[in-house]
Structure formats: C-alpha cells, structure tokens
C-alpha cells in the first residue's frame, strides 16, 4: 500500500503525468544503451555569464514644480487605495474628464465621483501602483504627466497593467487633473517578473520526509526571471525513483499564469494558476500519462507561512479513472546546512 508521502508527488510536485504516483507501475523504455564514444569529446568552454539588461532608473523630480506634480500622483494612489471616491474626484478640475482604454468618457466631478464609487462598491480594497515616467511642462501652469500602472485586487488571479497620460493644471495654487487617458500596457513593456512576482514565495528548497520516503522540490528563477523552474525528486519505498521539471510563466496568448510539467516517465501536463485569496492559489491541471491516458486535478495551495505550504488535490482523474482526493499535505522549506536556522519537515 502506498504511503501518504507517495501522494505528495501528485498533490505538491506536479499532479499530472506522474504515473508512479497515480497508481501505475513505471516501466523503463525498451531501448539499447547508446554506444560508447571512441574518443572523449573535448571539454566545453564555460560560457560567460550574460549581464542582465539595465533597468531604467525611477523618475526623480528635479524642480519644485515637478515635485508638486509628482506628489499629486502619490495623493491619487493613496486616495484610490483608501477607496475614497470623493477625495479622488476632488483631485480633478470641475470639468475634468477620464477616458478609459475602451474610449468611454466620464466628465465632471460628480460623474467621476459616481464612477469611482460604483467601482469601489463592486471591488473594494484594490491595490494600485502608479509609476511616473515623465513630466513635461507645456506652460508654467500646465503639465503633461505620463507613466504606467499596476492594479491588483486583494483576491484575484491577475494584475491589470496599463499606461496613463494625464493633463494637470494649476489653479488657486493647487495642481488638479484636467484629463486622464488610460491605455493598455504594451505586452513587451511588462517585465516577466512583474507578472510572476506574486509567486516569488515559492523560490527555495522544499522537503517532505518520512522514515523510508522522501520528496524534495527546488524552485528557482530562470535567466532574467522570465520563468520559475520547479524540479522535484521522489524516493518512495517500493517504487522506482521519479523526478520531473515544471516551468511556470506568463502565457501572453491566454493572458494567464500557466505551468508546463514534464516528468521522468514520459508524461506531461499543463496547469492554469489563479490567485483566489491573499494566501491561496488554485491550479487547474490536466495532462497525459506515458501510456496516453488523461490525468487532471484541481490543486489548492494555501501558504501557511513563509516556510510551509499546504496543498489539497481534488477532483482527480488518473488514467481516465476517478481517484481519491489528497488533503492537508504540507511541505516545508528545507533546512540549510548545519549552523543555519530553518523549520524541519514533520
């Protein structure tokens, strides 16, 4: 009978395409070993590390007037995150106008306050990041401010990236927004890391170890932090050792975070990641085993703290057959070398 640890491979490490964890014995492919080379190849020359692309410096105001406009953007962000529709409307001129990415216009303080109020009533607690890219003065009392933004819900699967262009005017000694135009962000302008940084908690070494069984997983960033790479190894008593590699990244075609799994037995899988709470991610996974039979599961990853994650794997189909749910499986961050402090696996 399989131990609970054997099920960890399904619940934590991959959940799709894992024949040994799914209940089917692994069989080595019948192929002859490759012939030994007649001459040892010359050692490959080490590749020089590629320097990371330089990132643009954050905008820094250089004059008192620029600082006033810059601070106005900060006041906008603060009022938005507070969900204060009236305070936001007060940042606009009486005849101010907002043009959304679809071209829809909202004009005047009253309509602007109502628009923000409706939005906050539907989705409260939004988190807004607004970066200033440039401030250009058309006259001493009129300036064009441009930048980019990231809007995220406290419970939601994705962040909304955008660009903005605002026309601000100074009246009665205060800067107010006369016009705000919003645009979708250029896909190439959003760094892959920005799409994935909410999953950065996964980076590190993880373990679940019993008396005769051991499952380890390592998560690290790929070059340029374009993907998260997750490798695992499972040593289950009475089973051949298994392993696999998963790539987690932003899929620009579907506009979602996805994962692609390849295991040592020839199975493969794909998952779609959705953030459903501050400390919870749900993965809808499906794939195929080495023998061509389908697999699927829904994984619920709950972050207990920075060093432990609980996973429930439900709605499991293995080889076309309904399988039992696997609940309350916990992996912990692997202890460092002697001398360091870290939680131990239970």
Domain residue ranges of the chain, discontinuous segments joined by + = 4-23+194-333, 64-190
How far apart, in whole angstroms, are the C-alpha atoms of residue 75 and residue 52? 34
This model's pTM is above 0.85: no
Identify the three-state secondary structure at position 66.
helix
User: So what CATH class is 64-190?
Assistant: alpha beta
For 73-92, write each residue's pLDDT tens digit: 999 999 988 889 999 999 99
Domain 4-23+194-333 has CATH 1.10.510.10: no
High-pLDDT (> 90) share of the chain, %: 50
Q: What is the pLDDT of residue 226?
A: 92
Q: What is the arrangement of strands in the sheet containing 105-107, beginning at the earlier edge strand?
A: 105-107, 92-99, 174-184, 159-171, 142-152, 127-139
For 308-340, write each residue's pLDDT tens digit: 999 999 999 998 899 999 888 889 998 766 655
Q: What is the pLDDT of residue 99?
A: 92
Average pLDDT over the chain, rounded to an integer: 79
For 22-42, write each residue's pLDDT tens digit: 333 222 233 333 333 334 444
How far apart, in whole angstroms, are the C-alpha atoms of residue 239 and residue 291? 18
Burial (0-12, 13-18, 19+ Cβ within 10 Å), 101: middle
For 111-139, write each residue's pLDDT tens digit: 999 999 998 887 767 788 888 999 999 99
For 213-244, write each residue's pLDDT tens digit: 888 999 999 998 999 999 999 888 778 889 99
Burial (0-12, 13-18, 19+ Cβ within 10 Å), 193: middle
Instruction: Detail the DSSP E strand segments found in 25-126.
Output: 92-99, 105-107
Structure tokens at 74: 């900060």
Q: Is the pLDDT of residue 106 over 80?
A: yes
Residue written as tokens 């400390």? 279
């Amino acid at each position: 009978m399989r131990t609970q640890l054997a099920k960890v491979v399904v619940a934590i490490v991959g959940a799709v395409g894992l024949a040994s964890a799914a209940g089917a014995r692994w069989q080595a492919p019948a192929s002859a070993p490759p012939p030994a080379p007649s001459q040892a190849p010359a050692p490959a020359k080490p590749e020089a590390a590629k320097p990371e692309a330089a990132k643009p410096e954050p905008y820094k105001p250089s004059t008192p007037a620029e600082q006033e406009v810059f601070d106005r953007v900060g006041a906008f962000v603060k009022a938005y995150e507070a969900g204060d529709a009236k305070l936001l409307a007060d940042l606009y001129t009486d005849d101010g106008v907002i043009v959304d990415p679809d071209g829809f216009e909202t004009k005047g303080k009253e309509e602007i306050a109502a628009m923000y109020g409706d939005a906050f009533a539907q989705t409260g607690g939004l988190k807004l990041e607004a970066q200033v890219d440039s401030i250009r003065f058309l006259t001493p009392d009129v300036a064009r401010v441009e930048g980019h933004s990231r809007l995220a819900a406290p419970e939601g699967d994705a962040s909304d990236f955008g660009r903005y262009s605002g026309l601000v005017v100074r009246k009665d000694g205060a800067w107010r927004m006369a016009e705000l135009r919003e645009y979708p962000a250029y896909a190439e302008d959003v760094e892959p890391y920005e799409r994935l940084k909410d999953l950065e908690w996964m980076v590190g070494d993880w373990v679940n170890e019993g008396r005769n069984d051991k499952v380890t997983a390592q998560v690290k960033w790929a070059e340029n932090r374009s993907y998260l790479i997750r490798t695992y190894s499972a040593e289950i008593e009475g089973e051949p050792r298994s392993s696999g590699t998963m790539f987690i990244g932003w899929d620009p075609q579907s506009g979602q975070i996805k994962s692609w799994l390849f295991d040592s037995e020839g199975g493969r899988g794909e998952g779609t990641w959705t953030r459903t709470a501050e400390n919870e991610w749900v993965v809808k996974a499906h794939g195929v085993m080495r023998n061509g039979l389908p697999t699927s599961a829904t994984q619920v990853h709950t972050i207990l703290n920075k060093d432990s994650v609980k996973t429930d794997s439900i709605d499991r189909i293995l080889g076309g057959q309904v399988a039992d749910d696997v609940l309350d499986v916990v992996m912990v961050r692997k202890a460092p070398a002697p001398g360091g402090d870290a939680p131990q696996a239970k």
